[in-house]
Chains A and B, each alone.
Chain A
Amino acid sequence: MTDHIVVAAAVENPLGFVPVEFALSLVTFGILFFLIWKFVAPRFEQTFAERTQAIEGGIAAAESKQAEADAKLAELEKQLGDARHEAARIREEAREQGARIVAEMRETAQAESSRIVEHGKAQIEAERQQAITSLRAEVGTLATGLAGRIVGESLEDEARQSRVVERFLTDLEAQNGTTTGSVN
């Protein structure tokens, strides 16, 4: 059966040793190893180390920044608290002060008003006294004048009476007609 299958005769043993290939493989790989060892690995390790350092440095920097920010925040919060406290204190003080001022003002106004009232009363009293004095004097004069006239005429009868009154009135009229002098 195998007679019909064409098989290439006298082939080399695939496991056979070929010195040229063995040597070439060693040399080629040797050169590749040398190049990788010399040029590639150091670069990689260096980059790797640099990156590790950069990341670690970055993390450290970020941590310190974070701590700084935290401290600032705490400080600001404290300041804010202080400010709130201060504001409350000031507001309280202002309220007290305002109340005090209002009370003072009220007191002053009350004092003033009572003073004015007092003053007015005194003035009125003084004026009344003055009016009473001058009125008393005038009333006296008038009464004296009137009494003198009445005493001057005897009031015996009705005719006389009416004559006296009439004369008095005429006198008054005449006085009013000729002069603008007063009745007395």
Chain B
Amino acid sequence: MTMKTGITMAAEGEGYVAPGPASFDFSEVPLFELGGLAVTKPMVQLVLGAVIVFAFFYAAFRRASIVPGRLQFAGEAAYGMVRNSIGRDIIGSKDFAKFVPYLVALFFFLLINNAFASIPAIQFPTFSRASMAYALAGLSWVIYNGVGIHKHGLIGYLKLQSVPSGVSPVMYPLLVPLEFFSNILVRPATLALRLFANMFAGHLLLILFSTGGLFLIEYGGIGYVAGPLAWVLAIAISFLELLVQFLQAYVFTLLNAMYISGALADEH
């Protein structure tokens, strides 16, 4: 607090503009207009991400051969990782095949859009726009519930998700609402918020340490020490963010696979 006071006092008039939700709001600075619709940077990133993912896989498999080239090998490694370690291992070898395109598209779409946070000249995580994360979580909700209802019927599926097995019926009044709440209602919310919050917080931290470091150096005095230190921390956080970007894409996809697997299961 004392530090903050000092800074605000020293920078009278100008002050330090702390990064906040405003740093994520591009509605006032659209890149261009398309049919009367303001197109912002995150929107362009979203589409660019999809284009990059498809371009990579299309190039890798355009001339697919039994003995792979370098690009095909990379494509196969990427595709195979999601297919085998997420799809097959979680959903099981009986049903996983038809979900693989969804999981592959989801994982790499998330990965590239998260990685945009660390790619120079872009440097913004697309899914720190909550509505974009809501869309993917909503889609996930529709898919796993749809899959479950398709397999077990509406009643059977609700029973599967809400009534825990191996529990005395006495406990049902307590557990059934809880299970229903946790399996049907909360899942999409946590899915979306986990992704959004991680991207949002990571980016916020980076802005804070970068612009804060600059401000401290301009402020002088102890800032000559604290400013560069802040930048060193910003670099460290950047590396941490790389890990978080990958992990969030992985966790989102993994949870999708687990929800699908749970919906397909014969017993809760």
A2-46 vs B, CB cutoff 8 Å, 1 = contact: the mask equals 001111100111111111111111101101110111011101111
Given A1-B8, A40-B58, A22 contacting B104 (CB threshold 8 A): no
Which residues in window 77-134 of A have CB below 8 A to B? none
Residues of A within 8 A of B131 (CB): 16-19, 21-22, 25
Nearest CB on A from B218, distance (A): 15
Docked complex Cα distance between A112 and B8 (Å) = 144
Select B136's contact among A20, A25, A35, A40, beta carbons within 8 Å: A25
Contact B54 A35 (CB under 8 A): yes
Residues of B within 8 A of A35 (CB): 54, 58
Given A25-B46, A26-B135, A7 contacting B4 (CB threshold 8 A): no
Docked complex Cα distance between A7 and B49 (Å) = 32
Q: Is A51 an interface residue (CB 8 A)?
A: yes
Given A31-B50, A35-B54, A36-B57, A13 contacting B21 (CB threshold 8 A): yes
Q: Which residue of B lies closest to A46 (CB)?
A: B64
Docked complex Cα distance between A25 and B129 (Å) = 10
Contact B109 A29 (CB under 8 A): yes
Nearest CB on B from A38, distance (A): 8
Residues of B within 8 A of A13 (CB): 21
Residues of B within 8 A of A173 (CB): none
Contact B5 A37 (CB under 8 A): no
Docked complex Cα distance between A39 and B62 (Å) = 9
Q: Size of chain B's interface in residues, with CB distance under 8 A?
A: 59
Select A25's contact among B21, B27, B58, B135, beta carbons within 8 Å: B135
Q: Is A47 an interface residue (CB 8 A)?
A: yes
Q: Is B229 an interface residue (CB 8 A)?
A: no
Nearest CB on A from B38, distance (A): 8
Of B9-17, B174-182, B205-213, the one contacting chain A is: B9-17
Residues of A within 8 A of B101 (CB): 33, 36-37, 40-41
Which residues in window 78-106 of B have CB below 8 A to A? 79, 83, 97, 100-102, 104-106
Residues of B within 8 A of A12 (CB): 21, 25, 27
Nearest CB on B from A39, distance (A): 6
Contact B18 A5 (CB under 8 A): yes
Residues of A within 8 A of B97 (CB): 45
Q: Which residue of A lies closest to B40 (CB)?
A: A21
Contact A40 B79 (CB under 8 A): yes
The size class of the interface chain A forms with chain B is 35 or more
Q: Which residue of B lies closest to A32 (CB)?
A: B50
Contact B15 A5 (CB under 8 A): yes
Which residues in window 1-56 of B have CB below 8 A to A? 1, 4-5, 8-9, 12, 14-18, 20-22, 24-25, 27, 37, 42-43, 46-47, 49-50, 53-54
Select B42's contact among A21, A23, A26, beta carbons within 8 Å: A21
Q: Is B165 an interface residue (CB 8 A)?
A: no
Q: Is B139 an interface residue (CB 8 A)?
A: yes
Contact B64 A22 (CB under 8 A): no
Contact B64 A5 (CB under 8 A): no
Contact B46 A44 (CB under 8 A): no
Q: Is A174 an interface residue (CB 8 A)?
A: no
Residues of A within 8 A of B102 (CB): 33, 37
Contact A36 B105 (CB under 8 A): yes
Residues of A within 8 A of B130 (CB): 14-17
Contact A39 B58 (CB under 8 A): yes
Residues of A within 8 A of B200 (CB): 14
Q: Which residue of B lies closest to A21 (CB)?
A: B131
Residues of B within 8 A of A18 (CB): 129, 131
Contact A8 B20 (CB under 8 A): yes
Given A29-B135, A35-B54, A40-B58, A4 contacting B47 (CB threshold 8 A): no
Q: Which residue of A lies closest to B193 (CB)?
A: A15
Residues of B within 8 A of A54 (CB): 66
A5-B8, A7-B17 provided; 5 other pairs, C-beta below 8 A?
A14-B24, A24-B46, A26-B135, A39-B57, A44-B61
- Counting from the closest, the 3 A-B pairs by CB-CB distance are A4-B8, A25-B135, A37-B101
